[in-house]
Amino acid sequence: MKLKQYLLICITLLFSFNIYAQILWEVELPIQGEGKKLIVTNDNQYLILLGTYPTNDICLLKYLPTGDSVYIKHWNKNGFYSNICDYILTQINDTCFVTSDCDGNLVLFSNIGNPYWYKNFIKRITACTANNNDLIILIGELGFYTLHRLQLTGNIICESRRVTTNLIKKYNNNITCFTNNYYNTNMPPSYFTTFFGVYFDSINLKSFGSAKGSLIECTNSGGFCIYNKNEDRNIFITDSNQDSILEMTNPEFIYLNPQEDIDFIATRDSGFLLVGLAQVNLPTQFNFIIKIDSLGNVQWKKSYSFISGSKIVNIVNSIDGYGYLMLVYNENSHLSFLVRIDDNGSPLYSNPKVFEQKKELLIYPNPSYNWVNIKFPEEGDYSLSLYNYQSQELINNKLVHISETLIDISNLNSGVYFLMVVNKKAQKYFTDIVIKK
């Protein structure tokens, strides 16, 4: 009996691992164009909004958790919308979604990708969410936005006060707007951050100091985590009453470029992911993902060297509960990809159309106080440069007929540095990070 139970357990585990392996996938989207937004739908599928190349029409692609396609819907221009531009893709309920275009057209469409109606608001729609079955949208530009509440038919219920940001979040059917200041025609902008819950009959103001250009995400406890991507690059975490419970700064945040789009999501383990391009000007771009815990401490950080011209558009928690799925776009080929990474940020596959096909540099010890040994994938002539986050070149070595070398970092300040190695003869770039303790 024990032997039968043991065999049954072994067979069950083997079957489980085979099924598990089938969902570690990577997909090249079949439509050429720029991936704009990736979301997880209420029926546990992936939905992608894409602007086709070169016409920039709206294209919707839906995938199962296995990577199999559910549908592809291509909305050709027929007069009710123009070029897609904003990254708006929001699920309203089990059957309705909304997106928008550059001319202020809001489009409501079904769960199978067919448009219900469109409504034009003249100005660009910069954010959208839902409260029960009502739409909440922000309209405007240049820091002056107006909050609107709509029925699912598109009829405006009411228009709220002006705000100066495009960040709105929903939690437990309460809509919260995060703004850089409370708009008052009799007063100049205050440059302070405020919260207010939007009930359209009352406004609750909360101040959290200066945090211009910030990102906000809901926490599992009903509060919010705010990342100030400008200036101090600090983290604010609140409780469910939006009272501040934590403020901290981490020097590693400085490596994310505030001039580029940064994606910020809550993870299933009560932490958060920050995703963006590095603040350094190199021939090949560094895409960074920083994982922080519920208290804002950095748990891990990964840099991704994609093929030239590629960047991570946004990232979501994977449906199967393991790792994350990111939408990657390459501006040179005009192709978009879905790429899986595990819970520690390591790619599960290395598609030659997505990642640079190269043997990695071997760097040890890393982190280090004094000397770092760098082993190249093969013997050759190399140019080695080390940069700080301000793109200042601190080390430049020309190496001839060599397979490994030592660099002295003892005089550098503690922090993260960007290493670039060039083999001009083979026309290859190798990039990595070096950490000084």
What would the pLDDT profile of 63-84 be if each residue is shown by its tens digit?
Answer: 998 888 899 998 866 545 556 6
* Cα-to-chain-centroid distance, residue 179: 21
What would the pLDDT profile of 105-140 be if each residue is shown by its tens digit?
Answer: 888 999 999 888 888 888 888 888 876 677 878 787
Q: What is the DSSP secondary structure assignment for residue 55, as one 8-state letter? A: T
Q: H or E element: which one contains 5?
A: helix 2-22
- Widest Cα–Cα separation across the chain: 83
What's the CA gap between 223 and 105, in Å, rounded? 32
Q: In what order do the strands lie in the sheet with 156-163?
A: 125-131, 134-141, 144-150, 156-163
What would the pLDDT profile of 142-163 be if each residue is shown by its tens digit?
Answer: 656 777 888 888 888 777 656 6
Between these two residues, 429 and 347, which has the higher pLDDT value?
347
Comparing 179-188, 209-218, 311-320, the range with the smallest average pLDDT is 179-188
What's the CA gap between 238 and 243, in Å, rounded? 5
Model pLDDT, residue 61: 94
Residue with tokens 């999501």: 265
Residue 6 has pLDDT above 50, yes or no: no
Q: What is the mean pLDDT of residues 261-277?
A: 89
Residue 344 has pLDDT above 60, yes or no: yes
Between these two residues, 57 and 131, which has the higher pLDDT value?
57
Name all domains of the chain by residue range, CATH numbers in brackets: 27-341 (2.130.10.10), 362-436 (2.60.40.3080)
Amino acid residing at 81:
Y
Tell me the pLDDT of the chain averaged across its residues: 76
- Residues 238, 223: contact at Cβ < 8 Å? yes
Q: Using a cut of 0.85, tell me whether the model's pTM lies above it.
A: no
The rounded percent of the chain whose pLDDT value lies above 70 is 69
Between these two residues, 291 and 415, which has the higher pLDDT value?
291
Residue 371 has pLDDT above 60, yes or no: yes
Please calculate the CA angle 180-222-260 and round it to the nearest 5 degrees. Answer: 40
Residues in Cβ contact with 283 at an 8 Å cutoff, skipping those fewer than 6 apart = 308, 420, 429
Six-digit token pair at 244? 């501040």
Model pLDDT, residue 352: 65
Residue 184 has pLDDT above 60, yes or no: no
Residue 429 has pLDDT above 70, yes or no: no
Q: What is the mean pLDDT of residues 32-44?
A: 94
What's the CA gap between 351 and 333, in Å, rounded? 15
What's the CA gap between 204 and 157, in Å, rounded? 21
Residue 18 has pLDDT above 50, yes or no: no
- Count of helix runs (H) and strand runs (E) in the chain: 1, 33
Neighbours of 9 (CB within 10 A): 10
Model pLDDT, residue 423: 77
Six-digit token pair at 411? 């005089």
What's the CA gap between 99 and 231, in Å, rounded? 32
